[in-house]
């Protein structure tokens, strides 16, 4: 039984935490509230509590958003990024999945040694070799092309390892039964292995999407012209343009965050499990 | 026969990944190592010489690289306690709070969802001379601060912003760790009339210690790799006060095309990060060993 004193201190903690969370989130609240205002109102409200309150719902409420969606190429950049993410999810699951399966279930020469090498590769920071990637892509004449952007990002030692850890515990008798039915290994992989491992496929896909959506350095190196930019690079192009008003800038950064919030709310279980497991299994 | 077909099948499955690994990981790593001993200049490759350890001596005499190195270390020193203790504190509070638990988790995790480029763009508006922080300070009677526009405040300003962005991630890790602590330990402590502080000091902290090591090193590695924030917000300035190691690698290699020098910096950078990772791995091994011991004890 809780004493009255304990109950009261519990509620005091809740109230303090709510205040702390609002203080913590003030940049986000300010961003949302002001993304609906014209610049004159943003400046006028800045000195009062109105800075954190959205304006009254009237005809010009969505003006900043409409302006961004119709007058800039932002929609195009968002669609570009969705396309790159889709391609990289499909290629990444196939290439890293096949490799993970080979390391888990197929006895081929030096398998254990390859596994060791993959684990060692996981600790190499990508920033070390990004200069050479850039040199390769430039020499191949692939700068400012989709292929040049995608090619170095397909293979991922971490994902290979993740697939391997899951595939290793798949039952062998299903494979033997499939072999009796003369099912080819490739067909077996796509019709049996992947469907049996939906959760790891989902995890890898979600993290690939987040990585593509949030990546900044590599796309900023590869893409120089407007048509192919990813959303993050497009964001920089739009906000550094002098004609973009403050309200419009805030509208863009709100828009660019929406897809990620959708992904997080749909897959929050996988993501939290992924975050916690990197902390407790490997950590 | 069966064995041979297995090895063929294995290579067929592993092959595509192996080709890409070779081109985009093994080869670049070997080339980075080789180039770090040369004066390779990508715009005039025919003039390349082997220069031995000259690059390594040169970068540590180079004013910009030294500045970048010191800035990176300063950034680490500011952000690690801020983000590490911040996330631990939040996790402890959220673990204790009785209502709205889910809301608190979402609220403090929200900035993690936003990318670094987005957060940097947003905080440029917030830190601006006429921005919201300065107008709040003005209402409190404090004079306006330059934040990212001054060489003394820019790096701490970026560190605070980065800690704000990342703190929710480690908070979730700590919450997972707190929930994994055996409740029987606290029940036993309650029977002994232990104070909350004693419980924290003698149960929570020792149980979380391996996770703390993991989290603090993760934050350190992340901080070492810092690049996007100054790239978006300050361009490394004012007067190189937010120039970082990775920023120097990036500019030397891809803007000035001095691949030799950039490779040397990359090697120095990689050595630091890999030492940290190895320490982390050893610390975690310890933890797994302890877990096994505990299970053995129970039996």
- A124-156, pLDDT tens digit by residue? 888 889 999 999 999 899 999 999 999 999 999
Q: What are the angstrom distances between the C-alpha of B72 and each of A188, A260, B243, B270?
A: 49, 29, 8, 14
Q: Is A214 in contact with A224 (CB distance < 8 Å)?
A: no
Checking if the pLDDT of B55 tops 90, the result is: no
Count of positions (residues) in chain B: 299
Model confidence pLDDT, tens digit, residues A161-210: 999 999 998 888 877 777 777 778 888 889 888 998 888 898 899 889 99
Q: Whole-model pTM? A: 0.87
Q: Is A131 in contact with B262 (CB distance < 8 Å)?
A: yes
Dist CA A78 CA A74 (whole Å): 6
Contacts of B182 (CB under 8 A, 6+ apart): none
Q: How many CB atoms lie within 10 A of CB A265?
A: 11
Model confidence pLDDT, tens digit, residues A31-41: 999 899 888 88
Residue B84: name the closest of A279, A162, A212 by CA.
A279
Chain B contact set for A132 (CB, 8 A): 27-28, 31-32, 35, 259, 263
Contacts of B12 (CB under 8 A, 6+ apart): none
Q: Is A147 in contact with A81 (CB distance < 8 Å)?
A: no
Spans of all domains in chain B: 63-298
- Confidence band, pLDDT 50/70/90 cuts, at residue A220: very high
For residue B13, give the nearest of A13, A21, A106 by CB distance.
A106
Checking if the pLDDT of B250 tops 80, the result is: yes
Label residue A6 exposed, middle or buried (CB < 10 Å: 0-12, 13-18, 19+): exposed
Q: Is A116 in contact with A236 (CB distance < 8 Å)?
A: no
Sign of CA dihedral B89, B91, B97, B102: positive
For residue B173, give the nearest of A106, A121, A279 by CB distance.
A279
Q: Look at residue B298 in the predicted model and tell me its pLDDT.
A: 42
Does the domain at B63-298 match CATH 2.40.10.10? Answer given as no
A35-49, A79-93, B231-245 — which one is most confidently predicted on average? A79-93
Mean pLDDT of A26-33: 92
Dist CA B17 CA A163 (whole Å): 13
For chain A, domains (ranges, CATH) are 72-241 (1.10.3720.10)
For chain B, the average pLDDT equals 87
Q: Look at residue B282 in the predicted model and tell me its pLDDT.
A: 82
B28–A102 C-beta distance less than 8 A: no
- Confidence band, pLDDT 50/70/90 cuts, at residue B2: low
Q: Give the mutation candidate from B28, B45, B131, B266 for the A interface (greatest A CB count, under 10 A).
A: B28
Model confidence pLDDT, tens digit, residues B201-212: 888 888 888 889
């Amino acid at each position: 039984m809780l004493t009255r004193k304990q109950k009261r201190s519990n509620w005091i903690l809740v109230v303090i935490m709510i205040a702390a969370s609002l203080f913590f989130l003030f940049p986000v609240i300010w961003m949302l509230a002001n993304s609906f205002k014209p610049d004159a109102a943003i400046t006028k409200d800045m000195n009062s509590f109105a800075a954190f309150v959205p304006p009254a719902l009237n005809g010009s409420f969505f003006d900043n958003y409409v302006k961004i969606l119709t007058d800039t190429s932002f929609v195009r950049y968002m669609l570009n990024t969705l396309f790159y993410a889709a391609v990289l999810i499909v290629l990444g699951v196939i290439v890293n999945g096949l490799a993970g399966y080979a390391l888990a279930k197929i006895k081929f020469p030096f398998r254990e040694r390859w596994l060791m090498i993959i684990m060692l590769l996981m600790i190499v920071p990508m920033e070390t070799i990004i200069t050479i990637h850039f040199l390769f892509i430039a020499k191949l004449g692939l700068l400012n092309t989709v292929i040049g952007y995608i090619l170095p990002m397909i293979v991922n030692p971490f994902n290979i390892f993740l697939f391997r850890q899951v595939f290793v515990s798949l039952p062998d008798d299903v494979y033997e039964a499939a072999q009796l039915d003369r099912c080819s290994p490739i067909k077996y992989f796509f019709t049996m292995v992947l469907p049996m491992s939906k959760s790891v496929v989902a995890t890898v896909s979600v993290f690939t999407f987040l990585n593509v959506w949030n990546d900044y350095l590599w796309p900023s190196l590869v893409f120089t012209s407007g048509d192919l930019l990813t959303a993050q690079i497009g964001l920089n192009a739009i906000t550094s343009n002098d004609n973009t008003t403050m309200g419009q800038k805030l509208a863009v950064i709100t828009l660019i965050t929406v897809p990620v919030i959708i992904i997080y709310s749909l897959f929050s279980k996988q993501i939290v499990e992924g975050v916690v497991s990197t902390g407790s299994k490997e950590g | 026969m069966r064995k041979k077909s297995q090895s063929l099948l294995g290579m067929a499955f592993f092959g595509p990944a192996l080709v890409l690994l070779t081109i985009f990981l093994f080869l670049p790593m070997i080339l980075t190592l080789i180039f770090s001993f040369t004066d390779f200049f990508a715009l005039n490759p025919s003039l390349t010489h082997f220069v031995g350890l000259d690059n390594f001596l040169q970068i540590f005499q180079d004013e910009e690289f030294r500045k970048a190195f010191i800035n990176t270390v300063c950034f680490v020193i500011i952000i690690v306690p801020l983000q590490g203790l911040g996330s631990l504190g939040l996790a402890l509070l959220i673990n204790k709070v009785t209502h709205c638990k889910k809301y608190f988790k979402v609220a403090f995790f929200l900035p993690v969802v936003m990318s670094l480029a987005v957060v940097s763009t947003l905080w440029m508006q917030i830190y601006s001379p006429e921005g919201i922080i300065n107008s709040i300070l003005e209402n409190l009677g404090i004079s306006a601060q330059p934040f990212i526009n001054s060489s003394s405040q820019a790096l701490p300003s970026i560190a605070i912003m980065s800690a704000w962005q990342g703190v929710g991630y480690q908070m979730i890790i700590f919450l997972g760790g707190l929930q994994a602590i055996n409740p029987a330990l606290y029940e036993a402590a309650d029977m002994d009339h232990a104070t909350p502080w004693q419980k924290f000091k003698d149960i929570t902290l020792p149980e979380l210690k391996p996770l703390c090591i993991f989290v603090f090193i993760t934050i350190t590695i992340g901080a070492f790799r810092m690049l996007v924030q100054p790239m978006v917000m300050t361009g490394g300035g004012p007067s190189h006060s937010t120039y970082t190691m990775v920023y120097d690698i990036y500019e030397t290699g891809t803007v000035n095309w001095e691949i030799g020098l950039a490779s040397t910096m990359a090697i120095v950078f990689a050595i630091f990060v890999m030492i940290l990772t190895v320490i982390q791995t050893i610390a975690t091994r310890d933890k797994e060993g302890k877990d096994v011991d505990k299970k053995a004890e129970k039996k």
